[in-house]
Structure 1
Amino acid sequence: MPIINIQILEGRPPEKIKSLIASVTETVSAELDAPKERIRVLVTEVPKTHWGIGGVATSDIPNR
């Protein structure tokens, strides 16, 4: 059973997350010849205060 973990910054609309789950499931199913009902996709949204780039919290970076 494939398990795919995706970590992204918070703030995307729920419909985008659902679309991501569907797209990843389709791709993994096709590439691994795995039945879709056996594929698990976990999306974790990380707060911008808990994600750092170059030693700086993403919440402190303009336009992020």
Structure 2
Amino acid sequence: MPTYHIEMLEGRTVEQKKKLVAEITRVSVEVLGGSPESVDVLITDVKRENWSTGGVLWSERS
């Protein structure tokens, strides 16, 4: 079964992450079959100073 790697800016709560991984797992099982125990989700929180879009660090955005 799949392993998902999610990178996102830090700041989400544990509750938000729990809901996200539950929904990713549910949809994966629904679409691909298998069991929830076979779906892995890795979340990497990235500091705003380490992420840039359009040449501007997110820590520099208002």
**TM-score by shorter chain over 0.5:** yes
After the TM superposition, list the runs of 4 or more consecutive aligned residues in structure 1 that deviate by more than 6 angstroms. none
Per-residue CA distance 1:12-64 (angstroms, 9 max, x = gap): 111101110101000111110121111101111110000001011001011xx
- Using the alignment, how far apart are the partners of 1:28 and 1:47 within structure 2? 28
Q: For 1:34 and 1:40, how far apart are their aligned partners in 2? A: 12
Give matches, 1:9-48, under 5 Å. Answer: 9-48=9-48
Any gaps of 5 or more consecutive residues in structure 1? none
Identical-pair percentage? 37
- DSSP-derived class of the 1:29 partner: helix
Unmatched segments (≥5 aa) in structure 2 = none
Q: Aligned residue pairs: how many?
A: 62
